[in-house]
Amino acid sequence: MSSAADRLLPALVHHIVNTLGWPELRPLQAEAIDPLLRGSDAILLAPTAGGKTEAAVFPLLSAMEEQSWLGISVLYVCPLRALLNNLQPRLASYAGWLGRSAEVWHGDVGPGARERMRREPPDILLTTPESLEAMLVSSKVDSRRMFSGLRAVVVDEVHAFAGDDRGWHLLAVLERLSRIAGRPLQRVGLSATVGNPAELLEWLQGSQRSRPRSVVAPVVGATTIPDLTVDHVGSIENAATVIASLHRGEKRLVFVDSRRRAEELGAALRAREVTTFLSHSSLSADERHRSEQAFAEARDCVIVATSTLELGIDVGDLDRVIQINTPRTVASFLQRLGRTGRRPESTRNCLFLCLEDAAVLSTAGLLERWAAGWVEPIVAPVRPRHIAAQQILALALQENKIGMHTWPEWWGDLPLFDEHLAEIFDHLLAKGYLERDGAMAFIGPEAEKKFGRRYFSDLLAVFTAPPEFTVLAGREEIGRVGDDVLLADDYDGPSVLLLAGRAWKVGHVDWKRRRCFVEPSDLPGRAKWGSVESGMSFALTRGQRSVLLGAEPAGVRFTRRAASVLADLREKHAEDVSEDATVFRRSAGEFRWWTWAGAAANRTLQANFPRFVDPRQRITDHSLRLLPNISNIEFLSELSGSAPLSCPNVSKSAVNGLKFSTALPEVLAIETVAERLSDRKNAAIVLSERRVFVHAVR
């Protein structure tokens, strides 16, 4: 062992060497020891399977033993229950070396196990933010006793939290836990490569930004160049044919962008006699676990998954990763690529199977950014005012009563609250979400009416899931489907749905209890779920523009089919792209502004030039359709104005997708949604660029 390991507890080092059989720690694990033992907050960065869990847990176990931490002293927070279940045996083993324990607490854990943990709390508790919140507000949990010894929090896949509202929710809950424990909590985030680790760590610290912090990201030595291939196959059926014929005898993980595509591809592969398993969020936990376990133990097989398997759930030793169309981000691509190449003498690899011409371009654009060494910065959603409202109500549940003027003390200077915090609190009082009793406030009747079902469970989750039916074959739960997009459809003949890669004939539907009873069927089934399209980022769309201008992503092979599609796209868009310029092109009665800026920036531009931009169009990543009767001079004059850009206008109905929006004043809810739909920074970049006007003959 290197000298860095000398600072770890000798008994721990003994087990690392003799029980695990490790002759040496990995670079990340060695470099994390000193900052974590000093008590610094930290971000630990390494590729998938880079040993991040051990890098965090080994120093904390040493501190736990040497400083005699008692009770729940370490929280290990994950975004997915399946990831917690996957990690618990490993962490329990490590803790057991020192006579300590590690247990899981989440929604699938039964009452007996919870009661046991309440009586005898483990040393390490693995959980989700939602379960932590539920513990804080539960009358069955004495949170002050249970968390009195809390010292440190490990946040696995921290980038997955920071990029959406669950991150703000997590930070707010940690602030309340810190106050209950009576001390600052050491915060350790684990992540694959991100573009802004220092900023991510500062975000993770919340109100503790004055504490020492350290980004631990060892320089990785030379690695083999990954094997990356882009192909154009045209349809799910063709994709299934390619997957069935290639790499026989190997274990393949196929990523798709939706549950519908997962079901369709799974059925198509099984029709070609390929051993196929599925994993997506609408399958029951048992069904998912069976698939993942069977896949981990098999060899010649395929598992088709949405992003549920992008994070660190162990599904065994993979040979291949296949991507249908394009991941949403470079960071997501790196997570998926990192699933392969773990065996000695093996190489990281990814085969892209594009279903449409546009997917070839978006894949090439993403790989152009990756080849240039670019990874997305992780940026928390702006204006989380709805989460602020949720937290005020959750605190009122937790404490029974909160001080009219002292409640902000629970969160310090956490940037969850902005200059409108008093306005939000007054709205909660005015609408009956809170009621006043002298200098105190408590949960009001409107909160009980809106969120009070199932012990306020609707208040404890910061995301909204559409209403769904539980699908049952006998007593076995298969998964869930939405009533509005599948069960309510009109069919000629029997209703047959596709779920878990199999066809099921719908028998009885219990509308009141939201249950659908099915039986296996040989008839063809249909898979449908609602989805909301979200555009590509400014950077990735600019990557597409670079590819159209001739850039070739280094180290990527395009098949003849994909290369032909890309050549056709370059010819088609030859007049729509120009180096460092925005293009205005007139053709066949159409006037189009080719921004290559991403949907959010284009939406912002549309909102700021309403007299010139066609309001009926669907916003795309690449361009805006202008009204054809305006002159170039008139439009140039408008673009040259110096007024600051404003956010898009949104309707009152647009706030429905913002959970807890009713707990906000309507104006603030609309402003919040508008801010999140806009990209004023990159819209301004477009306006600052050189302008090229083209009058196309064709």
Mean per-residue pLDDT over the chain, rounded: 88
Q: How far is Cα 198 from Cα 510, in angstroms, rounded to an integer?
A: 52
Please, what sign has the CA dihedral across residues 191, 196, 198, 204? negative
Which residues does 312 contact at the CB level (< 8 Å), separation at least 6? Answer: 48, 49, 83, 86, 156, 157
452: pLDDT strictly greater than 60: yes
What confidence score (pLDDT) does residue 486 get? 44
What confidence score (pLDDT) does residue 490 get? 43
530: pLDDT strictly greater than 50: no
pLDDT class of 492 with cuts at 50, 70, 90? low
Say if CB 130 and CB 461 are below 8 A apart: yes
Comparison of pLDDT for 61 and 507, the residue scoring more: 61
**Do residues 290 and 192 share a domain?**
no
484: pLDDT strictly greater than 50: no
Contacts 24+ apart (CB under 8 A), 222-227: 223/348, 224/341, 224/347, 224/348, 225/347, 225/555, 226/337, 226/341, 226/347, 226/348, 226/349, 226/350, 226/555, 227/347, 227/348, 227/349, 227/350
pLDDT digits over 568-593, tens only? 999 999 999 999 899 999 988 889 99
Strands of 545-605, DSSP E: 556-558, 581-587, 590-594
Say if CB 65 and CB 9 are below 8 A apart: yes
Give burial (CB, 10 Å; 0-12/13-18/19+) of 575.
middle
Query: Average pLDDT for residues 377-381, to the nearest whole number?
Result: 92
Q: What are phi and psi of 355, to 5 degrees?
A: -90, -25
Q: What are phi and psi of 397, to 5 degrees?
A: -65, -40
Query: Average pLDDT for residues 151-168, to the nearest whole number?
Result: 94
Domain-ending residue, one of 158, 187, 216: 216
Distances (CA, A) of 394 to 184, 391, 662: 21, 5, 15
Q: How far is Cα 243 from Cα 225, in angstroms, rounded to an integer?
A: 23
In a domain, 428, yes or no: no
Q: How far is Cα 144 from Cα 398, in angstroms, rounded to an integer?
A: 11
**Do residues 581 and 607 share a domain?**
yes
In a domain, 538, yes or no: no
Query: Which residue, chain included where needed, has tokens 């949907």?
Result: 599
Comparison of pLDDT for 539 and 638, the residue scoring more: 539
In a domain, 415, yes or no: no
In a domain, 605, yes or no: yes
Query: Average pLDDT for residues 261-271, to the nearest whole number?
Result: 92
**Do residues 620 and 670 share a domain?**
yes
Q: What is the DSSP letter of 649?
A: P
Domain of residue 154, CATH code: 3.40.50.300
**Do residues 588 and 653 share a domain?**
yes
Contacts 24+ apart (CB under 8 A), 546-554: 546/365, 546/368, 547/361, 547/364, 547/365, 547/368, 548/361, 548/573, 548/574, 548/576, 548/577, 549/577, 549/579, 551/368, 553/364, 553/367, 553/368, 553/370, 553/371, 554/371
What confidence score (pLDDT) does residue 280 get? 80
How many Cβ atoms sit within 10 Å of the Cβ of residue 50? Answer: 22
**Do residues 237 and 357 share a domain?**
yes
What confidence score (pLDDT) does residue 509 get? 79
Distances (CA, A) of 256 to 36, 301, 310, 313: 38, 17, 11, 17
Comparison of pLDDT for 635 and 304, the residue scoring more: 304
Task: Say what percent of the chain tops pLDDT 90.
Answer: 62
Please, what sign has the CA dihedral across residues 608, 609, 613, 616? positive
**Do residues 72 and 41 share a domain?**
yes
Q: Which domain holds residue 22?
A: 3-216
Q: Which of 314, 305, 302 is nearest to 248 (CA)?
A: 302
What confidence score (pLDDT) does residue 527 get? 64
**Do residues 42 and 177 share a domain?**
yes
What confidence score (pLDDT) does residue 531 get? 43
Pairing of strands 623-626, 590-594: antiparallel
Query: Average pLDDT for residues 207-231, to the nearest whole number?
Result: 88
**Do residues 366 and 508 share a domain?**
no
**Do residues 204 and 263 share a domain?**
no
Structure-token pair, residue 685:
């970049």
What confidence score (pLDDT) does residue 258 get? 85
**Do residues 258 and 211 share a domain?**
no
What confidence score (pLDDT) does residue 16 get? 95
Give burial (CB, 10 Å; 0-12/13-18/19+) of 175.
buried
Q: How far is Cα 535 from Cα 673, in angstroms, rounded to an integer?
A: 16
In a domain, 459, yes or no: no
Say if CB 422 and CB 218 are below 8 A apart: no
Q: Which of 155, 20, 190 is nearest to 76 (CA)?
A: 155
Strand partners, 454: none
Q: Which of 109-118, 322-331, 384-393, 642-651 has the lowest mean pLDDT?
A: 642-651
pLDDT digits over 320-336, tens only? 999 999 999 999 999 89
Distances (CA, A) of 459 to 81, 109, 275, 440, 627: 19, 20, 41, 21, 45
Q: Which of 119, 159, 113 is nearest to 141 (CA)?
A: 119
What confidence score (pLDDT) does residue 516 get? 83
Domain-ending residue, one of 322, 356, 371: 371
Query: What's at 579, amino acid-wise?
Result: E
Structural domain total, the chain? 4
Domain-ending residue, one of 191, 216, 241: 216
What confidence score (pLDDT) does residue 507 get? 82
pLDDT class of 526 with cuts at 50, 70, 90? low
In a domain, 187, yes or no: yes
In a domain, 674, yes or no: yes
In a domain, 275, yes or no: yes
3-state helix, strand, coil in the chain (%, to 5): 40, 20, 40
Comparison of pLDDT for 461 and 145, the residue scoring more: 145
Q: Which of 197-206, 287-296, 424-433, 533-542 has the lowest mean pLDDT?
A: 287-296
What confidence score (pLDDT) does residue 313 get? 66
Strand partners, 210: none
Give burial (CB, 10 Å; 0-12/13-18/19+) of 7.
middle
Give me the count of residues in the chain: 698
**Do residues 79 and 98 share a domain?**
yes
Q: What is the dihedral of CA 86, 88, 94, 99, to 10 degrees?
A: -160
In the chain, what is the straight-line distance between the N-terminal and C-terminal CA atoms, in Å?
70
Q: How far is Cα 605 from Cα 143, in angstroms, rounded to an integer?
A: 49
Q: How far is Cα 440 from Cα 475, in angstroms, rounded to an integer?
A: 49
Query: What's at 447, amino acid-wise?
Result: A
What confidence score (pLDDT) does residue 489 get? 45
pTM of the model: 0.87
Give burial (CB, 10 Å; 0-12/13-18/19+) of 651.
exposed
Give the 3-state secondary structure of residue 480: strand
Q: How far is Cα 289 from Cα 279, in angstroms, rounded to an integer?
A: 8
pLDDT digits over 181-197, tens only? 999 999 999 998 788 99
Q: How far is Cα 129 from Cα 172, in angstroms, rounded to an integer?
A: 10
Q: Which of 111-125, 433-447, 618-632 has the lowest mean pLDDT?
A: 618-632
**Do residues 209 and 232 share a domain?**
no
